[in-house]
DNA sequence: TGTACATCAGTGAACGCGCGTTCACTGATGTAC
DNA sequence: TGTACATCAGTGAACGCGCGTTCACTGATGTAC
């Protein structure tokens, strides 16, 4: 919560671990309540109907009081976005961490399903972060760390798993800019390191660029599928989508070269 | 345009081909202008900022005058949605039709790129139809024919092309509900028939269900990629996305079994 | 431990805005005879 | 061809609504001496 007034640690800022004053505890509590209520409205009506006045009303406060906690509506939105990214990232991380001895493919499966499950359970929060951008809203840089978590968890699976050479055409160089993009991503992943991976994985040379390119395809496929399901685009074809999703996850695992 | 008042052909309705009165011509013209201006605002600020009052203002009319053309804001939105689906469908159809002698893979490529090109040229119209649903808005049944056009063009490529058996695991039955869904889609495609396909294609037994399942994966992958690109989710990884897109299109063509 | 002052949460009124939709109306266009 | 009536596009005012944000204020909590 970088945007609340009290948390930009000034001269009298609170040190981590220090005992909190009653005022601080109340402030933290109410900040939480505001976000909870905002999330409730988000779930009920979507992001653009989120209104400070309605949140305040529901909390029994006067609307101007919210400005003690969030300097503007956009800052409240930003807080929700960060929380959503963090919740999704935590789900993916937990799904992987829950299977310490499992092979790469089992972790891949777990991660993909965790992402979908979270999206289905929180469709409006999913739409907030992966749906059409809210016009006039610019996501501030504070969001990027949280946004990266799920991608790091996803790619970390490949970084830590043995891969068979996926296709006969992967000797061919990647086309144009994609070569450099895949290369850079591989290095980023190696640098970020999958949190639950052992030291050996961190020393691994990362994911080979051809695999990284395939992983990018799988990545966009995963979210494309989830978005289509949530946004009603599969009605009349693959709805309900559970089996289709499971099938696609396996196909994509093959596609990136995870052995069965 | 089923929702304008004059077009629900009543007792004095206009017959197709009949000479239009000056009033009718004026009405058609203004209906077009309203939609054009609405599209302009859509492009500038997105769907939820589309306001009847602003459209009227820009057209030099009084806001209540628009109600002679569209009974409500939602009806105007519906008209824009139908137009967007039709424009996208027409692009895809044209891209395929422009290559009458080409093989399946060339048509696949052309179709995928046409879809992306249209999306990049009309990002807000794309978001209108494939982005997060507008809360409180229910797409009426009039939209589904237009929505299906692009899918029919896409699947029609597979229906008319020779395919090699895509993977060794395609002898295995499709899991759960997916089997029936793929089966039904194959029949739908065979029934709808690709408009530019010759009679022989219409007599073809359609697309085998395992291929149809793979096509569904490719379908969601295609739109997932485009959405990620347009909604800014590829910034920092595969942006600019041209080469990545081209690469993915080829991989997906392999994936569905189109010979090179 | 007690007092004086500073900080802060919450109030209530107000500003200024834009929206969708309805309604009674005027005047022009079209139609039937 | 001319007249009487019906249809329809567009006007202008109004209703009722909700929004984000500002501001001067009160009273409670926290802090320094």
Q: Tell me A28's DSSP state.
A: H
pLDDT of residue B207: 86
Per-residue pLDDT of chain A (260 residues; tens, 9 = 90+): 333 333 333 333 344 445 688 899 999 999 999 999 999 999 888 898 999 999 999 999 999 999 999 999 999 999 999 999 999 999 999 999 999 888 999 999 999 999 999 999 999 999 999 999 987 788 899 999 999 999 999 999 998 888 887 566 667 899 999 999 999 998 888 777 545 444 444 433 578 899 999 999 999 999 999 999 999 999 989 999 999 999 999 999 999 999 98
Of A132, A185, A221, the CB nearest to B220: A221
Look-up: residue for tokens 């004026």? B26
Nearest CA in chain B to A239: B181
Q: What is the rounded CA–CA span in Å between residue B93 and residue A23?
A: 64
Q: What is the rounded CA–CA span in Å between residue B204 and residue A227?
A: 33
pLDDT of residue A205: 56
pLDDT band at B164 (very low <50, low <70, confident <90, very high): confident
Chain A 219-248, residues with CB within 8 Å of chain B CB atoms: 220-225, 227-228, 231-233, 236-240, 242-244, 246-248
pLDDT of residue B51: 96
pLDDT mean across residues, chain B: 87
Structure tokens at A113: 């399903």
- The residue with greater pLDDT, A172 or B176, is B176
pLDDT of residue A37: 97
Which of A132, A177, A241 to mutate against chain B (most B CBs within 10 Å)? A132
Q: Chain B partners of A233 at a C-beta cutoff of 8 Å?
A: 130, 223
- The residue with greater pLDDT, B74 or A137, is B74
pLDDT band at B181 (very low <50, low <70, confident <90, very high): very high
Q: Tell me A61's DSSP state.
A: S
How many DSSP H helices and E strands does chain B contain? 10, 0
Does residue A65 contact residue A146 with C-beta atoms inside 8 Å? no
Kindly report which listed range (A9-23, B136-150, B152-166) carries the lowest average pLDDT score. A9-23
Average pLDDT over residues B213-242: 97
- The residue with greater pLDDT, B253 or B200, is B253
- Checking if the pLDDT of B88 tops 90, the result is yes
- Checking if the pLDDT of B1 tops 80, the result is no
Q: What is the rounded CA–CA span in Å between residue B83 and residue B147?
A: 10
Q: What is the rounded CA–CA span in Å between residue A153 and residue A118?
A: 15
- The residue with greater pLDDT, B29 or A138, is B29
| A204 Cβ under 8 Å from any chain B Cβ | no
pLDDT of residue B8: 36
**Residue B67, number of CB atoms within 10 A of its CB:** 14
Note the pTM of the prediction, 2 decimals: 0.90
pLDDT band at B205 (very low <50, low <70, confident <90, very high): low
Q: Chain A partners of B43 at a C-beta cutoff of 8 Å?
A: none
| N-term to C-term CA, chain A | 42
Closest to A214 in 3D by CA, of B17, B68, B206, B248: B248
Structure tokens at A219: 């990545």
Give residue numbers, 54 to 113 of A, with CB < 7 Å from strand D: 54, 57, 63-64, 67, 72-74
Q: Are B221 and A224 inside 8 Å of each other by CB?
A: yes
pLDDT of residue A178: 98
Average pLDDT over residues B242-249: 98
pLDDT of residue B166: 58
Closest to B99 in 3D by CA, of B50, B160, B21: B160
pLDDT of residue A36: 97
Kindly report which listed range (A8-12, B19-23, B63-67, B117-121) carries the lowest average pLDDT score. A8-12
Closest to B181 in 3D by CA, of B216, B225, B221: B216
Closest to A137 in 3D by CA, of A67, A81, A66: A81
Q: Tell me A197's DSSP state.
A: S
Q: Give the DSSP letter string of B150-192.
A: HHHHHHHHHHTS------GGGGSPPPTHHHHHHHHHHHHHHHH
pLDDT of residue A55: 97
pLDDT tens-digit readout, B37-60: 999 999 988 898 999 999 999 999
Of A45, A132, A220, the CB nearest to B131: A132
| DSSP H helices in chain A | 22-45, 52-59, 73-97, 104-121, 123-130, 143-159, 177-192, 199-203, 209-230, 242-256
Q: What is the rounded CA–CA span in Å between residue B55 and residue B43?
A: 13
Closest to A184 in 3D by CA, of B211, B238, B116, B221: B238
Q: Chain A partners of B112 at a C-beta cutoff of 8 Å?
A: none
- The residue with greater pLDDT, B260 or A129, is A129
pLDDT of residue A7: 37
């Amino acid at each position: 919560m970088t945007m609340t007034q009290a948390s930009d640690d000034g001269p009298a800022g609170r040190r981590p671990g220090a005992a909190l004053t009653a005022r601080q505890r109340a402030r933290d509590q109410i900040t939480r309540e505001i976000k909870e209520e905002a999330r409730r409205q988000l779930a009920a009506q979507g992001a653009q109907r989120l209104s400070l006045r309605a949140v305040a009303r529901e909390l029994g406060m006067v609307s101007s009081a919210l400005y003690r906690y969030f300097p503007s509506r956009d800052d409240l939105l930003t807080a929700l976005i960060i929380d959503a990214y963090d919740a999704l990232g935590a789900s993916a991380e937990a799904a992987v961490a829950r299977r310490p001895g499992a092979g790469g493919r089992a972790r891949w499966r777990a991660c993909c399903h965790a992402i979908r499950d979270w999206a289905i359970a929180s469709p409006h929060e999913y739409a907030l972060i992966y749906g059409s951008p809210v016009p006039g809203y610019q996501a501030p840089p504070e969001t990027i760390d949280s946004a990266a978590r799920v991608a790091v968890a996803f790619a970390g699976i490949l970084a830590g798993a043995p891969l068979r050479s996926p296709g006969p055409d992967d000797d061919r160089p990647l086309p144009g800019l994609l070569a450099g993009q895949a290369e850079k991503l591989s290095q980023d992943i190696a640098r970020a390191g999958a949190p639950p991976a052992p030291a050996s994985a961190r020393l691994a040379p990362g994911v080979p660029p051809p695999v990284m390119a395939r992983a990018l395809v799988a990545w966009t496929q995963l979210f494309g599928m989830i978005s289509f399901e949530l946004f009603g685009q599969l009605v009349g074809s693959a709805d309900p989508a559970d089996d289709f999703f499971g099938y696609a996850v396996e196909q994509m695992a093959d596609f990136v070269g995870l052995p069965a």
